[in-house]
Structure 1
């Protein structure tokens, strides 16, 4: 089992590292090419967990806070995110999507979902999709449990 688990981890890393960029580059839609993959990921994180602090974004994306600051500045200039001071602590700043940012995330998800569905439809059958979903639900729960233990 250890050998298979090692292979599974390596395959997972390859799909995450190379798959995301390759898929985004393959999509023939200008809306997706307007932003970097990291900016798109950031907006998806904000959409799911926001309002959120820049520090939390840095942890979730695994980068230094300065990289987050640069991404946020560009997204704020384009009107996709806004920075809001906390009511209870003026030192705390929350990042949230604007309506335009939320619309973008929704459109990007639809485009990505459609592309991946068409990419996989000829290569993956229904049972494989069911197993994939089951496995990733389990991985998600395991990783969520591990967050509180750090």
Structure 2
């Protein structure tokens, strides 16, 4: 079991690192040319978890708060996010998507999906995809229990 788990973890890391690199280099959609991968990742996270604090956003992205501040400044200037302070907590900035930000995030996600669908179509069987989904659901549940 431990050897199989080690292999699974190593394969997961390899797919995440090299897969991300390949996808980001290969997707030629305009939305992926107009915005950096980091900016699009911020939009995706804010869309999923927003309104989200800038500190939490930095933690989820695994970067320093200054990197998030820079990304948020650029996204705010482009009209894609709103940065606000709540009345009950003036120290913390909370980020939300604008409608334009939602559209950009949706478009970027669709382009990635289309690219990956075309990449693996005919190379992975439906049963394998179902097993993949079930395995990742279990891992997600385990990770959420440990939050």
Please indicate the TM-score interval, normalised by the length of the shorter structure.
over 0.9
How far has the Cα of 1:24 moved from its partner?
2.0
TM score, norm. by length of structure 1: 0.92
**Over the residues paired in the alignment, what is the CA RMSD in angstroms?**
1.1
- How big is each residue's C-alpha offset from its partner over 1:2-60, in whole Å with a ceiling of 9 and x where there is no partner? 11111111111111122112112211211112222222111111000000111000111
Match of 1:81 in 2: 81
Runs of 5+ in structure 1 lacking a partner?
none
TM-score of the pair, normalised by structure 2: 0.94
The one-character-per-residue Cα deviations of 1:111-134 (angstroms, maximum 9, x if unpaired) are: 111111111112101001101111
Greater share of strand: 2
Q: Which runs of 4+ in 1 moved over 3 A?
A: none
Please list, as runs of the form range in 1=range in 2, the aligned pairs for 1:11-30 lying within 5 A after superposition. Answer: 11-30=11-30
Q: How many residue pairs are counted as aligned between the two chains?
A: 147
The answer to whether the 8 A contact 1:47-1:102 is kept is yes
| Unpaired segments ≥5 residues, structure 2 | none
Contact 1:21 1:37 in 2 (8 A): no
How far, CA to CA, are the matches of 1:95 and 1:58 in structure 2? 12
Larger relative contact order (CA 8 Å, sep ≥ 6): 2
